[in-house]
Structure 1
């Protein structure tokens, strides 16, 4: 029986993926084996030593102490792509909001008064201030070609836009999903200089903080628009407001209201609605529940932000050890030596590494004695050892 603690309301559809005969799920419990979380700030929590995995029902993991968990040998899972369609739709809405000046136009309508005749006359006289432009033929630059960025780029191509993409770490799998009509920019500056619209889809790390700054805003084409549905600090807000006031940028569409942006006539800021659909919440919960279950039951790792991808089919009748260790030489050799001392035959083995961590799945022909497991735990650099089957 695995104990799963939830720190936020998690979609029932996701929780239903954890069978009652093998899992206990509750918001309050002692010694949980895993934690499922959405937005709760775990940096302030005393995370129990019993926790073997953390699952974030969403993409970003800023609210989880990932580095600390890595030192403990605890994988942190997320749900990349599960909310991609929801965010894509909001980005597309942002394109139309900016190109047709819908935000200022709505403010204009809300302030109308008088009878219908007076309102009609005011509308006819005032509508010329909100003349917009159409999207076909306009250029869109997409920075970050992950699950969301790809959907945005492909949708914009279908709208008739000229689309440029930039992602130095793009995976082969994502490349296969990208429309062949999307053009490749060689740098952020190259993309900014080619685009009238720029949509940001990158995580917030040191390298992306203030990625869009005063110098890069100057590179945008006339009537430039920036769409930020990633994280607020990726855009230098002070530089953005200055560019809007100077009329060098047409509009800023984002998901992150702030005091500096509030009330600006050419800013549309939604209240962090990117993934706020029932479908996205369900998809995220289902994905992360499946990943937690697979890890706890078989040791397999999929979509972890700190562990390597490691999937090894579990052979019938075998016993599996899942071993987390520092990524240093001769770890597999030392593990194999201890298993040999216990006269244990290795039926299958998978070893993967990521940064400072390495992860090994070992399938044995027979269950290991406690002395063999203890010996492996005693190897310098081993962070965790679990028997996950058999």
Structure 2
């Protein structure tokens, strides 16, 4: 069994080296089994039938047609948390820059001339005075990997931290300091906080999460930070809000024409995950997810299919993508029994309207395995089915 991997963008070698063995080829032009990418837009891409999985070396998957992939039985992976530290550090740096005009001061010093620069600095430095983060209130909207780290470190800076996330996981809850207070509503965060940073995924429910109504709830001296996705904030409402002194300042990592050249808006060139460490971590995590899936059918960190893990010891395994409908497992099991095959192990997990089943078989005759694949494929509501042969090196 061999696999072809197609790459887009520059994927760190530390990730690609997982595929540098006899089982894999990379970018040979053959039909790919897996795709690895960072920012490449795949929405206009027609995927060949060979594609089984797409791994994004990063958290966001807005550049991938996830819904279309789901309908084709293509698993889409991301790497939540792999770039969390890089984004966290940039958010903290932006918080510091928002209260201390460091960049303006440094730029001004470069304009000085003469032999008494030290005296000029002492005379004019008051224009660059700021204030401190200690004692100010930070609202963190979204307590995933990034939000939780920001909440903890902001508390260590002396800030009063309020977190909001109705879907916070058990793992995240364990990692958040007890001193981070939980807000029960978004409105509570908007009304109370001096600084608000948002760290939620972009979807139909969160698009323009912050618009005119939300801005009007905020303090007129509040600073809003957005290092998650640009579309979470209604830019037109944001500019109007700043011009009307509804809020004080906006700092974002997502460039847009209407945000440029405004003295109270700082736009960074999408630097959140732009560290060598983050790129390496994301590449390693993405390759690990994709490799595990191709070789065993196990799914970790997928955005469109359920997480499934089953130890693989049998000669063959069927990986079955199907709709989440009643009696599907019964139909699959009956089909195997009708062909005289013994099921060694089975696991089924669902996610909304989609389900995924791994079926381990003691059968070693590939002709019979192919016959089972054909029979199961003919069942109603089956989307896709793969045969995976056990390999000792797995």
Contact 1:194 1:220 survives alignment (8 Å): yes
Shift of 1:113: 4.8
Is residue 168 from structure 1 mapped to residue 166 from structure 2 by the alignment? yes
TM-score normalised to the size of structure 2? Answer: 0.93
Stretch moving more, 254-263 or 358-367: 254-263
1:84-233 to 2 correspondence within 5 Å?
Answer: 84-106=84-106, 108-109=108-109, 112-117=111-116, 123-233=121-231
1:334-353 to 2 correspondence within 5 Å?
Answer: 334-353=331-350
Local SS of the residue matching 1:193: helix
Contact 2:208 2:233 survives alignment (8 Å): yes
Shift of 1:101: 2.7
Count of aligned pairs between the two proteins: 386
Shift of 1:327: 1.2
Task: State the Cα deviation string for residues 87-123 of structure 1 (Å, max 9, x = none).
Answer: 000000011010113344445445x354353x65654
In structure 2, C-alpha distance between the alignment counterparts of 1:235 and 1:369, rounded to whole Å = 52
Stretch moving more, 336-345 or 211-220: 211-220
Stretch moving more, 74-83 or 206-215: 206-215
Shift of 1:32: 0.7
Is residue 69 from structure 1 mapped to residue 69 from structure 2 by the alignment? yes
Shift of 1:124: 4.2
In structure 2, C-alpha distance between the alignment counterparts of 1:338 and 1:142, rounded to whole Å = 51
Shift of 1:206: 1.8
Within the candidate set 284, 289, 292, 1:291 is matched to 289
In structure 2, C-alpha distance between the alignment counterparts of 1:381 and 1:8, rounded to whole Å = 36
Contact 1:104 1:265 survives alignment (8 Å): no
In structure 1, C-alpha distance between the alignment counterparts of 2:86 and 2:67, rounded to whole Å = 29
Contact 2:363 2:369 survives alignment (8 Å): no
In structure 2, C-alpha distance between the alignment counterparts of 1:358 and 1:177, rounded to whole Å = 30
Task: State the Cα deviation string for residues 233-267 of structure 1 (Å, max 9, x = none).
Answer: 21122222233333442321111222222222222
Contact 1:104 1:266 survives alignment (8 Å): no
TM-score normalised to the size of structure 1? Answer: 0.94
Shift of 1:223: 2.3
Within the candidate set 259, 262, 265, 1:264 is matched to 262
In structure 1, C-alpha distance between the alignment counterparts of 2:325 and 2:211, rounded to whole Å = 40
Shift of 1:78: 0.6
CA RMSD of aligned residues (A): 1.7
Mark the runs of 5 or more structure 2 residues left unpaired by the alignment. none
Q: Partner residue of 1:375?
A: 375
Local SS of the residue matching 1:4: strand
In structure 2, C-alpha distance between the alignment counterparts of 1:197 and 1:178, rounded to whole Å = 19
In structure 2, C-alpha distance between the alignment counterparts of 1:107 and 1:14, rounded to whole Å = 39
Within the candidate set 317, 323, 326, 1:326 is matched to 323
Within the candidate set 268, 272, 277, 2:275 is matched to 277
Shift of 1:125: 4.8
Shift of 1:129: 3.1
Local SS of the residue matching 1:43: coil
Shift of 1:148: 0.6
Stretch moving more, 164-173 or 236-245: 236-245
Contact 1:299 1:361 survives alignment (8 Å): yes
Contact 1:342 1:369 survives alignment (8 Å): no
In structure 2, C-alpha distance between the alignment counterparts of 1:69 and 1:103, rounded to whole Å = 45
